[in-house]
Amino acid sequence: MKKIWLVFLVLLLTGWLPACGMESTQTQSPEAYVDLSVRQPLPTLVREVPPLRVAVASVVSPKGTVQSYNDLLEYLAGRFNRPVELVQRRTYAETNQLIAEGQVDVAFVCTSAYLEGSQAFGMELLAAPQVGGETVYYSLLLVPADSPAQSMADLQNGVFAFTDPMSLSGRVYPTMLVRQLGYDPQTFFSRIFFTYNHDEAIRAVASGLADGAAVDSLVYEFAVQRDPQLQKKVRVIHRSPPFGIPPVVVSPLVDENLKRELQKVLLDMALDRQGQQALAEIGVERFVQIEPAAYESARRLVEQYQQEGEGDSD
């Protein structure tokens, strides 16, 4: 009998003994149930939208550019439903390099920068600002309000402020005026310097830092509207013939669909209130289409300037 109980105990401890008809105390998990009628949306994949890159040539100071163009950049961001990045460089040549390499999608450049870019790498016209019902601008020769000077000849041996080495109104045209007198700027003036934008050139004359400067008429008119005191500090003694207005351009590397969309948005800006406000902030009535022929007089002047040689060092 002891042997029988010993075997029973061994079987019990090793788990070989049957449950003897008793129900197992372990419970089994029910099979997982999937209701196919209940559908959940898949997680949305968030893709980073690349910014629309906008270059503004240094016609005005960087601070002035940000203040003036802020509404325009916000307008473009809303119309394209993507962030907009303002890209600025110190010189017109550096901005042209950005356009040539396709590092910006659209750019606001000066007239001579467009002429250089169209010849060098096929920079393309997109639109042009209309101001006062026209698409032209002028080079204005400025002197301090109390200066006795009446023409460029009276500025001989004075200090002169150029804007940018590539600027039509701020460098090319005044240089040609000096050449007509039989001189070059380096020998005509006692000293020259570059401000690299037009509003700083205006301030240089207004403060007496320079005896004269030549500036973009659009920048000058916009500056005196914002600061009427400037008109009491400077005086215009000469105005050039009209030239094609500084345009909006694109690189030939920019996608054709984007070019068309950009042009349409710019041309339609004047049709809604937000667009009108953005235009007003940069002193523009509307953007219009423009042809390369509008820049022919400027092209001839630049060609003459280049053929005669700069005659001065930067």
Which of 214, 220, 223 shows the shortest CA–CA distance to 301? 214
* Most distant pair of Cα atoms in the chain: their distance: 140
pLDDT, residue 67, reads 77
The full set of domains in the chain, from first to last, is 52-135+244-298 (3.40.190.10), 139-240 (3.40.190.10)
Query: If 0-12 CB within 10 Å is exposed, 13-18 middle and 19+ buried, where does residue 133 land?
Result: exposed
Confidence of residue 48 (pLDDT cuts 50, 70, 90): confident
Inter-residue contact 155 to 187 (CB < 8 Å):
no
Tens-place pLDDT, residues 149-183: 999 999 999 999 999 999 999 999 999 999 999 99
Tell me the average pLDDT of the chain.
86
Inter-residue contact 83 to 76 (CB < 8 Å):
no
> Across residues 35-55, what is the average pLDDT?
68
Least confident of 9-23, 41-55, 156-170, 236-250: 9-23
Tens-place pLDDT, residues 98-131: 999 999 999 999 999 999 999 999 999 999 999 9
Amino acid at 250: V
Query: If 0-12 CB within 10 Å is exposed, 13-18 middle and 19+ buried, where does residue 46 land?
Result: exposed
Give Cα separations from 279 to 77, 267, 287 (angstroms): 15, 11, 9
pTM: 0.81
The CA distance from 148 to 143, in Å, is: 9
Least confident of 55-64, 80-89, 237-246: 55-64
The CA distance from 153 to 76, in Å, is: 46
Alpha helices in the chain (DSSP H): 2-14, 62-80, 92-100, 111-121, 173-180, 185-188, 198-206, 217-226, 256-268, 273-281, 296-308
Which of 209, 145, 136 shows the shortest CA–CA distance to 168? 136
